[in-house]
Amino acid sequence: MSENVKDEVAIRNLVENWASTVRRKDLDAILLNHSPDMLMFDVPPPLESKGLEAYKKTWDLFFSWAHDPVKSRVCCKFVDGMRFAQLMPCVH
């Protein structure tokens, strides 16, 4: 298995595991692999979250909106050495 394929498998597993924590609404596990000085852009406002504490607060809004069980799909793209991952909540 090439290094790129190994990287893609590792990234896909990391993102799938994170999505699983979102579906379980396990906030501690959601935050586990994030840097304290992270920067996230998202919708709805706040459109920009600087730092882990600001990011953590965005989950209150998400969980108040999301129905049980939280349903979502993960999309990972690997193009020319770039890795993109996205978790899309499914609207009920």
Model pLDDT, residue 50: 95
Render pLDDT for 22-67 as a digit per residue (tens, 0 to 9): 889 999 999 998 999 999 888 777 789 999 999 999 998 888 888 7
The answer for 34, left when phi > 0, alpha when psi is -120 to 50, beta otherwise, is beta
**What's this model's pTM, rounded to 2 decimal places?**
0.77
DSSP string, 11-32: HHHHHHHHHHHHHTT-HHHHHT
Domains along the chain with CATH numbers: 3-89 (3.10.450.50)
